[in-house]
Amino acid sequence: MLSGWIAWDNRGAWMSIQREIFKAPQVEREFELQPVPSHAKDSTRAVVEQCEWYTFFDICVLLAAFFDTEDWKQQHPEKNKNAFQERINQAFADNCIGYELRNGEVERIGPPYVDAVVSQARQVLQDPDYAGSNEQFEKAIGFLNERPNPDTANCVKDAIGAVEGLARIVTGNDNLILSKILDLEPLKSKIPGTLRQMMHKLYAYRGDAEGAAHGQTSIGQITVEEAELALGVSASCMIYLAKKFGKEP
């Protein structure tokens, strides 16, 4: 991956990359940083080849950030974060790995309809007025991408919590829960009854799903498929609320 991209004799580059790799969780330094270029390269390769898959993903995140630093870009303008991301994602695709490096984070590749609507919701939530919902929705995405095991309960909790937060913002009902807001104007009369009931059911799922309301987790409580569905439906609800009651055209 890195070999052939970084010159073999570029001692400074390999030493810098090695230092970044040792910041990854669960990567132990069993040897000193070597001043000889070949040793620096070989020891870097050894760490990458021997680590767990989820630690390798942590390394990818660290290196993407490192390749985006000004010092690195000045010395290696063609070997930047975007080039690294393209190279990693091609390697993931070639090996049928269900993850992608997206904007510096390794994220699970979900069903196409979920990924599409989540991406659109992320764009909508870039409005500064939606900062609270945006932060909570990003937390939900992060919980689904936790490694080695996704935190599905917290994903569901924060995804639906982001919908509640956006409903509060567009209606000005800062202290009410989503189920109450849905029964007040303008949502009560402006949202078709069946769709409003769907949002009620979504909020009810947050309370009914074992562990979701308080982010309590244990193996088997909420499946990845259920968390993906809750994430996608929450994204759709936020896009709808923003378009109908917020600033979206």
Q: For the segment 163-206, what is each residue's pLDDT rounded down to a tens digit?
A: 999 999 999 998 899 999 999 999 999 999 999 999 999 999 98
In this prediction, what percent of the chain has a pLDDT beyond 70?
88
What is the rounded average pLDDT of the residues 1-18? Answer: 76
Largest CA distance in the chain: 72
Q: What local confidence, expressed as pLDDT, does residue 212 receive?
A: 53
Query: What are residue 99's DSSP bridge partners?
Result: 108
The domain locations on the chain are 11-102, 110-245
Amino acid, single-letter form, for residue 204: A
Residue pLDDT, tens place only, 35-45? 555 677 777 88
Query: What average pLDDT does the segment 42-56 reach?
Result: 85
pTM to 2 decimals?
0.84
pLDDT at 211 over 70: no
Please tell me the distance from the alpha carbon of residue 247 to that of residue 127, in angstroms, as a whole number. Answer: 9
Provide the pLDDT for residue 30: 54
Could you tell me the fold of the domain covering 110-245?
Four Helix Bundle (Hemerythrin (Met), subunit A) (1.20.120)
Structure tokens at 148: 């080695």
On the question of pLDDT at 46 being above 50, the answer is: yes
The sign of the CA dihedral 221, 226, 230, 231 is: positive
Residue linked to tokens 């991301």: 85
